[in-house]
Structures are given as C-alpha cells and as structure tokens.
Amino acid sequence: MSENLSPENILARVSSALPIEARKNIIVIGSLAAGHYFSSILSNGGIRTKDVDCMLWPHANVKVLAKDVAEGLIEHGWQLKIADGYSLSCDENTNIENLPIVRLHPEGEDNWFLEMLNSPNEELTQSGMRSAEKLKTKYGYFALCGFKYLSLIEVEPIKTEYEIPIASPQMMALANLLHHPNIGAEKIGTSNIKRSNKDLGRVVIPPFLT
C-alpha cells in the first residue's frame, strides 16, 4: 500500500453505506481506528493500510448483523474481495476452512477493503486464540473470524461523528500484548515478518504519540 488514505474520508464512506441500525454495533479497530485517534499529529495527513477491520458486537447478535451488513453493502455496489486460494460457495457443507472471510471494497476502488470480524464468544474466551463460524448470506457462505482478546475493545469505545465507534488505542494495545506474551514464529502471509513483532510494535508506539 503506497497511497495515503484519510481516516475521516474512509469512516464517512463506510458509515454512509452501512444500514443505520447496524452502525452502533460495529467497532472499527486497527490502523484506521489509530489513524482517527491520532489524526491531529499525522505528519502526512493520512495512513497506509489496505484493510478496514470492523468488529461486530455483541456476540449473540453477530450473525444477523453480519448478514445484514454484508448483503446491504453488496446491494449498494460494494464488491467482494476473495483472497487467493478461496472461492465463494453456496454449499452449506463446505468446510469452514475453505470459506472466504467477509471482505468488501467500494465499487470502482480497490485501494482498501472492509473486513468483518466476530466478537469473541464464551468458548473462545476460555480456550484457544481464534474462532471461525459459518455465515450464510444470499450471496454464499463466509467464515466469520474472531480473536480471543478482542472483547477488550468493547470497553469504552470512542464515539465519532460518523456514528461508528472506534476502539481506543489503549484497549487495542492491551489486546495485542495479551495475544503475544512471547515472540512467536507465525509469519504474515508469505513474508518473513513475524506477526507478533508487528502487533507488539502497535503496543510500543502509542505511548510515544500521546
């Protein structure tokens, strides 16, 4: 990603496309949330990211919300972005490991995409670090993923003028720190970058920006 993106423009665009009733049940996390929070000190006026991570909550309502949001965005012209190695399936028996994650980008624009995440359920908070559930939509089946410590971002999310709250940098940092108590071996995609190094970097940087 080489193009600077405005957190404000993206938040406004996502908000305008979402069903009104769904906005309060979505928390934007990751780079976009941090970019909005620290917008006053961004030296280049934007951020460099390709994904807009959105966690849907509370868990009990996630599947209904995710279905409504996915179908609503597609009906508003947003395009599915299917990762290499996956294909869209309308077969309910397809293994969840073979289903794509919900990723959508605005029509005619491929610089960034919205990705939907699940809020952690009780089972995930007790054991394991990652979960995946099948999501049925009129356009096919998807995998809706969740991560153990993401429940922390439900603590005092920050309101925005776009009617979509963002996660606080403090809670995102704590979630990353708990997720990676040690430097792990997992790499990001086909790169040589360790995921733990990337996420722990997000723990170290925010104190220097405040």
- Beta-strand relationship, 51-56 and 79-80: unpaired
Q: Which domain holds residue 118?
A: 7-209
In a domain, 68, yes or no: yes
Q: In 10 A of CB 55, how many CB atoms? A: 25
* 176 or 80, higher pLDDT: 80
- Cβ–Cβ under 8 Å, residues 19 and 75: no
In a domain, 1, yes or no: no
- Cβ–Cβ under 8 Å, residues 30 and 49: yes
In a domain, 105, yes or no: yes
Site of tokens 């670090």: 129
Provide the domain count of the chain. 1
Model confidence over 141-185: pLDDT tens digits? 999 998 888 888 999 999 999 999 999 988 988 888 887 777 767
pTM equals 0.83
The CATH number given to whatever domain includes residue 123 is 3.30.460
Which amino acid makes up residue 124? Answer: L
Tokens in use for 154? 């439900």
Which is nearest to 201 in space by CA: 166, 77, 180, 66?
A: 180
In a domain, 41, yes or no: yes
Please state, for a pLDDT cut of 90, what percent of the chain lies above it: 37
Mean pLDDT of the chain: 84
- Beta-strand relationship, 51-56 and 113-118: parallel
In a domain, 2, yes or no: no
In a domain, 112, yes or no: yes
